[in-house]
Amino acid sequence: MKKTHYLTYGLALLLAGCTTIDAHRAAPEAACVPDIIPVADDAMPASRMMAKSARGVSNSSNYFQTSDRMMAYTAGFTLSVKQRDAAMDELKKLAESMNGYLVNSRRGNMTIKVPVKRADEFLKSAGKYGKVSDFHISANDLTDTITDLTVRLDNLRKLRTRLTELLSAAKTVDEMLKVERELNRVTSEIESMTARLKNNQNQVDFVTFTVGVIEEHGAMPAGTPEAIDHFDFLSRFADWSAGLESYPLFGVKLPEAFVAIERSPEGMKSGFAAISSDDCIFRTWEESVANDSKLDFWQKMICRALSSKESFDHIKCEKFELKGIAAIKITAQATTVRGLQNYMAVVALVDRWGHDELQIVEFFGPEEAFAKHEKAVLDALKK
């Protein structure tokens, strides 16, 4: 009886201590279940953040330095290539040859993990398959996070050992149930914290690369870069800037879910622009061109400008009608580090009071948002 009494008393003290520490968030050295700090992906210490960006990558630079601090690096770049699918396959093989691996790949966007010790080598080797640009890098210092998680996990394991000993010494059903309940809770905490520690350590051991692979040539129509340079207005295609008008031009209705962008007359061109809450842009604008020019000519110039100036590919053209007027519809895609961007322009050539004019409607944005609004935009152009 006396031994049982002491066991019950000891268990009560242990459980009471755990409850008190859990309630008041005591320091990790307390002999009970420690508080669990947020993992690194939830909190990124600003004091340990750094970033670089450049159009390209220097072969002599070492971006991913190893030190006594446990740094989690993320990086990204755009790779311009002749054949996108072949280049993506080569990048996957390159990562695997360095004990890295492909996390996911979708329509020109790749997420790749490479051991930090070989990350600089991977970055420089990627240049063999195309032109590297838009490079950026950031780092998060996880030293304190991993150290704290390790200490807390060690305390939890010691507590589990003590609870196991108490369970072996339990003499009554009530004692066994109390110890088993606490043991199950501590075991669950250990499993959760082990996963968090492993995740943080993986971020330190591997650099996460986000790579956008784009084809340089796309579907380029006939023409030369020199030709498009003679028409300054071609640089306005796929532009996010607002216009001076309060309403869409050409009698076009504003598509549902779009709101006009606030105008700022200073430095603005004529036209109208609106935006959706998911980053799609809808624009209408016009441009005077030489009389007696042909729509086919402007189709080639616009496609060329989209390809060479804006890095769009998969450019396609088809006949269309803009409010009953013969027009062309141009669609294209651009792969960026932020994901796939879809683009559409409808262009008509009209005679206004003896002068030829291009009437232009543009719609572009992230792939999923574009698909969501495409029908509403097309309906607005046909009404």
Of 161, 186, 214, the position where a domain reaches its end is 214
Instruction: Give yes or no: residues 149 and 271 share one domain.
Output: no
Indicate whether 41 belongs to any domain.
no
pLDDT reading at 373 higher than 70: yes
* Whole-number Å distance between alpha carbons of 11 and 24: 20
- pLDDT tens, position by position, 264-274: 555 456 789 99
Of 214, 243, 258, the position where a domain reaches its end is 214
pLDDT reading at 59 higher than 60: no
What are the Cα distances from residue 82, in Å, to 4, 54, 127?
A: 79, 22, 13
pLDDT for the residue 28? 38
Higher pLDDT residue, 13 or 334? 334
- Of the pLDDT bands very low, low, confident and very high (cuts 50, 70, 90), residue 235 is confident
pLDDT for the residue 342? 93
Instruction: Give yes or no: residues 132 and 30 share one domain.
Output: no
- Of the pLDDT bands very low, low, confident and very high (cuts 50, 70, 90), residue 313 is confident
Arithmetic mean of pLDDT over the chain: 81
* Whole-number Å distance between alpha carbons of 382 and 121: 53
pLDDT reading at 328 higher than 50: yes
Indicate whether 163 belongs to any domain.
yes
Instruction: Give yes or no: residues 323 and 374 share one domain.
Output: yes
Cβ contact 167:180 at 8 Å: yes
pLDDT reading at 180 higher than 70: yes
Cβ contact 212:105 at 8 Å: no
Of 196, 214, 232, the position where a domain reaches its end is 214
Instruction: Give yes or no: residues 149 and 252 share one domain.
Output: no
Instruction: Give yes or no: residues 127 and 151 share one domain.
Output: no
Closest to 225 in 3D by CA, of 139, 314, 304: 304
Whichever domain contains 237, its CATH number is 3.40.1000.10
Mean pLDDT of 145-164: 93
Q: Can you give the residue range of the structural domain that contains 14?
A: 2-36+144-204
Decide: helix, strand or coil at residue 1: coil
CA atoms within 13 A on the CB side of 97: 10
State the pTM of this model.
0.49
- Count other C-beta atoms under 10 Å from residue 303's C-beta: 26
Instruction: Give yes or no: residues 111 and 246 share one domain.
Output: no
Instruction: Give yes or no: residues 187 and 70 share one domain.
Output: no
Indicate whether 106 belongs to any domain.
yes
* Whole-number Å distance between alpha carbons of 132 and 136: 11
Instruction: Give yes or no: residues 113 and 66 share one domain.
Output: yes
Q: Beta partners for 213?
A: 79
Mean pLDDT of 160-169: 90
Higher pLDDT residue, 382 or 159? 159
- pLDDT tens, position by position, 315-326: 899 999 998 899
Instruction: Give yes or no: residues 166 and 310 share one domain.
Output: no
- pLDDT tens, position by position, 15-56: 544 443 343 333 333 333 333 333 333 333 433 444 444 445
Indicate whether 136 belongs to any domain.
yes
Closest to 241 in 3D by CA, of 276, 281, 287: 281
pLDDT for the residue 324? 85
Give the chain's domain count: 3
What are the Cα distances from residue 259, in Å, to 39, 214, 311, 370, 382?
A: 38, 31, 27, 15, 20
Cα dihedral 288, 290, 292, 294 in deg (nearest 10): -80
